[in-house]
Structure 1
């Protein structure tokens, strides 16, 4: 992307017959997604103004500029929406945008490299770091808690983690 952008939501499909969409917000305050418009497609080729119509189960009914029919709205299903980084609020020192963590090197408390963050997942019980390391058959999943991840140093591009001990049957090496 020419300008740094952060994924803030996704289109889940059409809502109604007049071009409204079902919008899933990934923002800490879900309704704030409208404050970050215009929103962009991942490749940066399309931008949309956004107006939230109302809350619905699992997200919002919303209007996007340039989308006027159910068919146009349906065609956007699965589209992830990105906001310009400079439109997003600054975060406190102990909070991070997921986009800032992906790709960071992860070291254990003894200084040995564990791998790199490939993704962050949240299935309702908190964030989980997915760490990929050469030589492992499976990704390492670590809870993103202060106890397991005591240090995130964005300036140095590294995370210090204290993963729980693996039992001998869990090791992939």
Structure 2
């Protein structure tokens, strides 16, 4: 199977007709509705669902998937991960990256000190933050080009101008 890129998670049932509450990891959240079909992981198994319709509701999305027609079926999907295949994603301009492409990169200072591996990114509002796990956890602001000076996907390295003692 082609690479899957995580895009969100199902938060539970919404109503009695099979609608689902969805937490989207896309920006803006409703951009997740532009992708269909979705790959939904439930109990370690992936299943494909076509997106029938969806909309923003308060602070999240509500979605209706093909084949999910009542509340009981919707409740079975609680907590399931949502992904799309890499081929469904747009090509990005040079110098822009999907977060999924950065996860797992080795993080090194501009002076060659390895800080660890990029575990995840956190959206804070002011700027995104790299969560790097090595000898300890480090939170490094994702500020290009001031802090994040180079991203080399081929080499698997993200370089930062960062004091290793911090």
Structure with the larger strand share: 2
Off by >3 Å, runs of 4+ in structure 1: none
Q: Could you say if the C-alpha distance between residues 53 and 112 of structure 1 is closer, same or farther in structure 2, counting changes exceeding 3 Å? A: closer
Q: Structure 2 length as normaliser, TM-score?
A: 0.88
1:144 alignment partner, one of 142, 145, 164: 142
Task: Report what 1:17 is aligned to.
Answer: 16
Task: Report what 1:34 is aligned to.
Answer: 33
The residue correspondences of 1:21-170 to structure 2 (distance < 5 A) are 21-42=20-41, 43=44, 45-133=46-134, 136=135, 138-146=136-144, 147-164=146-163, 166=165
Q: Could you say if the C-alpha distance between residues 158 and 165 of structure 1 is closer, same or farther in structure 2, counting changes exceeding 3 Å? A: closer
Q: 1:159 Cα deviation (Å)?
A: 0.6
Q: Could you say if the C-alpha distance between residues 98 and 44 of structure 1 is closer, same or farther in structure 2, counting changes exceeding 3 Å? A: farther
Give ranges in structure 2 of 5+ residues lacking alignment.
none
Distance 2:126 2:77 in 1: 29
Q: 1:94 Cα deviation (Å)?
A: 2.9
RMSD, matched Cα: 1.8
Give aligned pairs, total. 163
Distance 2:143 2:71 in 1: 42
Q: Structure 1 length as normaliser, TM-score?
A: 0.85
